[in-house]
Homo-oligomer: A and B are copies of this chain.
């Protein structure tokens, strides 16, 4: 199942930099999410946040709230975000790939009724313990120990991507395990055995004329070429293209041979 726009909202608390509000809105737009809620944004942040690409419609719908409590009042699951260093022992910490699964499971339990709030704190301090008290658990993006401070817009993008795409690889794999569109395109026109043999034969002719083959190496080279042509999984068009180039080189070698 996919999580619909109805089932998710992004809550930004005390965001100071208007560029970050625009960046968060752009990421939301990228992942089909439109419910942006701002809790006490810093001064003129919202008005100045209009510039990010594709963010206009999200920003136009953004709602402002006076407190975290108000912003999440209609939400069935409230997830705070933060790094491991900011710990509130009363609240469980769930790392992102698993957190995304839990968000999806929550919504799947009752899609018509569920609404998940993803709550992001201010750039400088993250969510305070008071703000975390409104959260059921903390979502942690598994960053490196050396630098666990993420840019706000990037954190929103990563969380929304993870929630949108969790479990997709399984489904994709079940359907087909390899580069899809292209494999199909190549499969339609995959070179036949006869085409590969034509390539093999012409290459052999070129090698003979050039003097590359010796009595000792002839059979080995032929076998190496056959393996190479097999493993390259050429399309009919690619075989045609290779034949064209080899024919020209053969012609050149023959032409000069006859002239000399």
- Write the nearest CB–CB distance from A221 to chain B, whole angstroms: 8
User: Can you pick out 20 interface pairs between chain A and chain B where the beta carbons lie within 8 Å of each other?
Assistant: A27-B151, A29-B144, A30-B148, A31-B143, A32-B144, A53-B149, A53-B151, A92-B179, A93-B179, A97-B169, A98-B169, A137-B182, A151-B153, A153-B154, A169-B170, A170-B170, A206-B249, A212-B244, A212-B248, A231-B233
Q: Which of A38-46, A64-72, A125-133, A250-258 contacts B (4 or more CB under 8 A)?
A: A250-258
Q: Which of B92, B146, B170, B259 contacts A181 (CB 8 A)?
A: B92
**Chain A interface mostly:** helix
Q: Are A211 and B252 in contact (CB under 8 A)?
A: yes
Judge if A158 is at the interface, Cβ distance under 8 Å.
Answer: yes
Q: Which residues of B contact A27 (CB under 8 A)?
A: 150-151, 154
B-contacting 9-mer, from A8-16, A160-168, A192-200: A160-168
Closest to A186 in B: B231
Tell yes or no: A224 within 8 A of B by CB.
yes
A165 touches B142 (CB 8 A): yes
B residues near A91, Cβ cutoff 8 Å: 182
Residue of B nearest to A149 (CB): B53
Copies of this chain, count: 2
Docked CA distance A145–B256 (Å): 58
Is A23 located at the chain interface by the 8 A CB criterion?
yes
Q: Is the CB of A92 within 8 A of B169?
A: no
A101 at interface, CB cutoff 8 A: yes
Restricting to A205-251, which residues have a CB under 8 Å from any CB of B? 206-207, 209-212, 221, 224, 228, 231-234, 238, 241-242, 244-245, 248-249, 251
